[in-house]
Chains A and B, each alone.
Chain A
Amino acid sequence: MSGISLRDIRKAYVNGPQVLHGVSLDIQPGEFIVIVGPSGCGKSTLLRLIAGLDRCEDGTIEIGGRRANDLAPQDRDIAMIFQNYALYPHMTVRENIAFGLELRGMKKAERNERAQSVAKILQLESYLDRKPAALSGGQRQRVAMGRAMARNASIFLMDEPLSNLDNALRITMRTEIKELHRQLGATMVYVTHDQTEALSLADRIAVMKDGHLLQFDRPDVIYDRPANRFVASFLGSPPMNFVAADMLPGWTGPHGLTAGLRPEILSVHAEKPSKAALPARMLLSEMTGADMLLHCESPAGRLTVSASRQDMPKDKEQFWIAFDLDRALFFDSENGDRVDLSVAMQP
């Protein structure tokens, strides 16, 4: 178990643009960190730097309190799951899983036993003697996962390890990863595009964009108090609605703000309710299971509302959307930073 400390990391690929622009991140020993961000923002690059597979020209990397910039990957005690699996094609699943153990001098019987038990967790037992070419994408991904799990590393780097699994398997694996983390107490850095994964696994979430770290905090803080409009829109499904605050009925706050309304703080009503509400018209509705997702048009702009099926408005052309202004977030329309209204409203 080791902490990781990144100080002002910059990275540009040879003959390429700058990918990371001064990222600083302090990860505690045993912490579970999830990195999210749009495609191409530098998540994999950051993992490769921590792993030691690439070198950064600027900044320091400390692992377990020691400067690690010049440490070879083998000497960092890190297990890594690659975004594109990187399975050894000439080895069976068993050999793939046990290779790292073999290199560390574990006896054959012992490492086969370990491979067996890892395969059991990952539901790969019947594929142990197959080569990667004879596996489906999801099975390959689980082998990649198993290769890391078999090792008792002090740091795990996982680059979208569940992206290719079906829903049921993904939920099982999510639990397994959480369990693995609890058992090993290892530090985990996990990249994902799936926000449910991010919110449910992370001790802290790092949100990145264009090579910058935008916010690094607990999931509830990220969700309730996002640093800016981008973070607010990135986490939460369906995503937050943004409307000009001046368009809201009864708005008395300062000008130049954008209000962020999560779909769950909105509700639909057939008659004008007593609290603040906007008249609306339905453009489209989507079924999501127990709930319906309603895409509506209002004088303030487009709004997406989540409503249970029995609350569906009868008249799709005319109904009301009520909101809780206390639960809304506000952002500076110019630069997107979140504005704390209780502070902004002080005379």
Chain B
Amino acid sequence: MKPENPILAGLALVAGLLFLSPVLYSIWMSFQTVDAYYAGELGFTLDNYARAVGQYNFARYLLNSLIVSGLVTLIGITFATMAAYAFARYSFRGGNFLFAATVATLMIPSHISLIPNYLTLAKVGLLDSYAGLILPAISNGFAAFFLRQYIRGIPKVLDEAAYMDGATSLQVLWRIIVPLSRPAIASMALYIFITEWNNYIWPLVAVGKQDLYTLQIGLARLYRINPGEGLIDWPLVMAASTITILPVLLGFLLVERHLVRGITMGAVK
């Protein structure tokens, strides 16, 4: 590694702190009592977290969010990878049209598909269920597109070598393409996870039962709970927000080490 340029490092630090400051501020706020906060005094309490989890059911919302976002990510990345592999390596009738259609989905604002999705799921009776939360999100045109571009960069002769070694096309996908696309797959998985985690409109529309609320829905409802005099209980909201952010941060730290490039080096001369 090159020695760091101290000026650049300093600038990066300042920029980092700048971006981080609202997060740090809200975490700090989540440890204040509501009275101290409005009086402008300094205090420390874990009571906000206790209330968010106990009184307002945030443990359940966290679990729901984890289940929904986790499954959407798992199923979504699997489908996206398989589609990307097919688009990258096979030419089949209608393939170009299908690929164009996949890319075209990127141009459709999600709000437009809201009502058709709602009506479809209502018809098959899947509203108010995990399946109803998950199904509309498992196809991801952007991930398929991105992974296809990445896979096209993997030398095709590696597939061919594997075929000569006796691999089937599924084995080529699983043993050659997937390991070599790990950085791209990890990035896309993270992207799908975060998108789903932050999804607000669809869970709001698709779910009525409190037991199925995700964190984003629970969080939005907290704004309506006032400690009196029309004031919002900001420390409580911030405690709930912190609960909402933490898994995403953890998820990022988990996949971060996979987000490195340059793995195909040394394949061909």
Contact = CB atoms under 8 A, between A and B. Distances in A.
A51 B164 CA distance: 8
Contacts of B157: 82, 84, 86
A78 B269 contact: no
A131 interface: yes
A51 B264 CA distance: 24
B92 to A, nearest CB: 15
A3 interface: no
B269 A137 contact: yes
B160 A53 contact: yes
A30 B263 CA distance: 39
Contacts of B269: 84-85, 137, 140, 164
Contact of B268 (A85, A100, A151): A85
A180 interface: no
A88 interface: yes
Nearest to A99: B165
Contact of B161 (A88, A90, A134): A88
B160 A88 contact: no
Interface in B163-198: 163-168, 171, 175-176, 179-180
Interface string B138-159: 0000000000000000010110
B267 A132 contact: yes
A53 B163 contact: yes
- Interface centre among B161, B162, B164, B263, by most chain A C-beta atoms within 10 angstroms, is B164
A72 B162 CA distance: 12
A104 B168 CA distance: 11
Contacts of A73: 160, 163-164
B265 interface: yes
Interface residues of B, number: 24
Contact of A104 (B162, B166, B263): B166
A79 interface: yes
B266 interface: yes
A103 B171 contact: yes
Given A84-B157, A86-B161, A100 B267 contact: no
Contacts of A100: 164-166
A275 to B, nearest CB: 51
A90 B263 contact: yes
Contact of A140 (B162, B171, B266): B266
B68 to A, nearest CB: 32
A223 to B, nearest CB: 32
Given A53-B160, A90-B180, A135 B266 contact: yes
Interface string A96-133: 00011001100000000000000000000000000111
A150 to B, nearest CB: 10
B176 A86 contact: no
A133 B164 contact: no
Nearest to B163: A73
Contacts of B155: 86
Contacts of A53: 160, 163-164
A86 B165 CA distance: 12
B164 A78 contact: yes
Contacts of A89: 158, 180, 263-267
Contacts of A74: 163-164, 166-168
A72 B167 CA distance: 11
A85 B162 CA distance: 12
A80 interface: yes
Contacts of A99: 162, 165, 175
A191 to B, nearest CB: 15
Nearest to A150: B165
Contacts of A104: 166
Interface in B25-42: none
A278 B130 CA distance: 97
A79 B164 contact: yes
A211 B161 CA distance: 25
A86 B167 CA distance: 15
A86 to B, nearest CB: 4
Given A73-B160, A89-B180, A147 B165 contact: yes
A103 B267 contact: no
A85 B161 CA distance: 9
A87 interface: yes
A137 B179 CA distance: 23
A118 B111 CA distance: 61
A68 to B, nearest CB: 14
Interface string A281-295: 000000000000000
Interface of B: 155, 157-158, 160-168, 171, 175-176, 179-180, 263-269
25 contacts: A51-B164, A53-B160, A72-B163, A73-B160, A73-B163, A74-B164, A74-B166, A74-B167, A80-B161, A82-B157, A82-B161, A86-B158, A87-B267, A88-B158, A88-B161, A89-B158, A89-B180, A89-B264, A89-B265, A90-B263, A103-B165, A103-B167, A131-B266, A133-B266, A151-B165
The list of the 7 closest CB pairs from A to B, nearest first, reads A133-B266, A100-B165, A132-B266, A86-B161, A84-B268, A86-B157, A89-B267
Interface of A: 51, 53, 72-74, 78-80, 82, 84-90, 99-100, 103-104, 131-135, 137, 140, 147, 151, 164
Given A89-B158, A90-B179, A134-B266, 6 more contacts: A80-B161, A84-B268, A85-B269, A89-B263, A89-B264, A100-B166
